[in-house]
Chains A and B, each alone.
Chain A
Amino acid sequence: MSDPIVQLQNVRKTYTLGASEIHALNGVSISIERGDFVTIMGASGSGKSTLLNMVGCLDTPTSGKVKINGTDITKLDDDKLTTIRRDNIGFIFQQFNLIPTLTAIENVEIPMIFSRVPQNLRKERAMRTLEQAKLEAEYAYHRPNELSGGQQQRVAIARALANEPPILLADEPTGNLDSKTGKSIMELLVRLNEEGTTLIVVTHDQKLTEYSNKTIVLMDGEVSNDIY
């Protein structure tokens, strides 16, 4: 068996606000295998986003160890974190977070620019990825403000897929969508997982845990149970 693709060992994250300390993560150890579909659940403020950001190399732990695809990121500087993130992680946000000045297809091209994909390949690949995310081709040249929430999230998913990362992270991806649209977005994510991408989703949706092969429930920065 190969190494786990994501591995956290006794990870702590402490924020200091004035005199008080907040332990957003309080000794979390998890390991996620290639191809896993992991749901992270827990009350608001329990540390779900903090955990996801850690896996996404947007943040580093106060103590403990985080290994992504074999690399220990705990001690890396900003530039090295950026490279690891660029090559391994696709991020999907609750707020979609598309660049408002760019069209759908250009938003998908952005990560490819940063990974230096030649220009003549970019457009074509972006188009294919949008198709994969089930955005109708006619919307490819629309700006985000001309798209519905569901369409925007599809663009965001396509953007996350642009560099074909082995890990997809989604922080409440359906939180801003109505239930019907949310369901179709979830179905899309599940299918991507079935095609081989490791998927980690923060969600409040109990139903989703049926699809996932692992659910992590957080409570005050600690893993409260670990269901297989």
Chain B
Amino acid sequence: MISIEDIQSNMYLQLAKRNLKRQTFRTVLAAIGIIIGVIAISSMGILGNSLKMSVTDSFGDIGDKLLIYPAPGEDGVTEKQIQQMKKVDGIDAIIPAYSTGDRVEYKNSYTFGSIYSIEREDLEKLAEVEDGQFFKSGSTDCVIGSSIADNLELRVGSKIEIGDSRLRVVGILKERGMGFDIDADTGVFTSAQMYEKMYPGEGDEYDFAIVRAEELDKVDDIKEDIEKLLNKKEEVITVFATNIILESINEAFKSISLFLMGIGSISLLVAGVSILNVMLMSTMERTKEIGVMKAVGASRKDVLTMFLLEALLLGVVASLIGGLFTIGAGYLILSLVVKNTSYLFSLATLIYIFEGILFGVATSLIGGMYPAWKASNMRPLDALRYE
């Protein structure tokens, strides 16, 4: 068994340590190169990951939803189709909705919003009320999204006008971010009765339906089952699974992360060259020493080990320091670019730091390889004669 003590008193390691200390300034310069390289690689990785997280976060939890639209040429999604869909396994909820776009007025200002008719219990599944409450079923009241409220400076109790109708705002929704199901932030939600009064004759078939899966990995099966069940004879509906979006976002950001890390790795490449340079200089300076070592019995492998260990030691120490600094650098970059430092404390960050350290160590080793090989192949006599 190798104990810590053995490693500490290991002569190769002692030699490596002392040889690195011999040219402290040069060693520190080389180490700084590696440190910067590690910081660059890992903080770029962290940045890429945080960008991804900030985008996926702003889409809300959309991944587990499927949107059912009428197929081209169809008028809408029928109640019968909704009933049929209920037979499909793995569905948590089916939320049919009417929607249209319209002008929303308040006092002398106006904005455009999406007007929805969604049952109260269904809306509760999609959004949260921040202020006030949900409308009562059958009432003329409405609940509005946060950006409409901001734009028109609405409060609970304000009365808005849509077309000829006046609706009382009883609730304002919590900001939810972009979504593919409903535009919660720019929406006006009201009861079926009120909607029918505002847009008479449109109430036969739903404009679309939202299907929520019990679990994220059931989404693909549900999509397949619904399509099989409803589009048996002819194409009557189109199913759109929102997890596709998440997947493509993930794909896109994977490339972005890779690209950013690629930029970071350029600095590591420079560091590798400087290691090569430093080690090459020290093999030149220590030519005579290498000759002596060989004269007293060092094999090529022994010399190779000694020099690689030096590179490894330098690489490990510098990379660990770099990994430590990455936390600070990541914090700085995230607060400047993404403006949300909470992403720093994630598993992904740890992985990127680990990757950075790994690359740092590998770079040092690769940089040290040629000098070590060169040293090991020196002929002892030539080395001894060298002054």
- Across the interface, A97 reaches (CB within 8 A) one of B11, B18, B292, B297, namely B292
- Across the interface, A53 reaches (CB within 8 A) one of B9, B22, B294, B381, namely B381
Q: A163–B298 Cα gap in the complex (Å)?
A: 13
* Known contacts A99-B289, A101-B22, A106-B11; A114/B298 CB under 8 A: yes
**Is the beta-carbon distance between A101 and B19 smaller than 8 angstroms?**
yes
12 contacts between A and B (CB under 8 A): A56-B295, A58-B295, A79-B300, A82-B299, A83-B299, A97-B288, A99-B289, A110-B296, A111-B296, A113-B12, A119-B9, A159-B296
Nearest first, the 4 A-B pairs at minimum CB distance are A86-B297, A114-B297, A101-B18, A111-B296
Q: A53–B11 Cα gap in the complex (Å)?
A: 28
**Is the beta-carbon distance between B293 and A99 smaller than 8 angstroms?**
yes
Q: Which range contains the number of B residues in contact with the other chain? A: 20 to 34
**Is the beta-carbon distance between B18 and A85 smaller than 8 angstroms?**
no
**Is the beta-carbon distance between A82 and B293 smaller than 8 angstroms?**
no
Asked if A115 lies at the interface with its beta carbon under 8 angstroms from chain B, I say yes
Residues of B within 8 Å of A113, CB to CB, are 11-12, 302
Interfacial residues of chain B within 152-204, with CB under 8 A of chain A in the complex? none
Q: How far is the CB of B214 from chain A (nearest CB, A)?
A: 62
Interfacial residues of chain B within 5-33, with CB under 8 A of chain A in the complex? 6, 9-12, 14-15, 18-19, 22
Known: A106-B11, A110-B296; 5 extra A-B contacts, CB below 8 A, are A58-B384, A86-B296, A109-B11, A110-B293, A114-B296
Bitwise interface map of A from 51 to 73 toward B, beta carbon under 8 Å scored 1, else 0: 00100101100000000000000
Which label, helix, strand, loop or mixed, suits the secondary structure of the B interface? helix
Bitwise interface map of A from 112 to 123 toward B, beta carbon under 8 Å scored 1, else 0: 011100010000
Q: How many residues of A contact B (CB 8 A)?
A: 30
**Is the beta-carbon distance between B11 and A58 smaller than 8 angstroms?**
no
**Is the beta-carbon distance between A79 and B19 smaller than 8 angstroms?**
no
Q: A163–B379 Cα gap in the complex (Å)?
A: 22
**Is the beta-carbon distance between A111 and B297 smaller than 8 angstroms?**
yes
Asked if A78 lies at the interface with its beta carbon under 8 angstroms from chain B, I say yes
**Is the beta-carbon distance between A102 and B18 smaller than 8 angstroms?**
yes
Instruction: Name which residue of chain A comes closest to B18, CB basis.
Output: A101
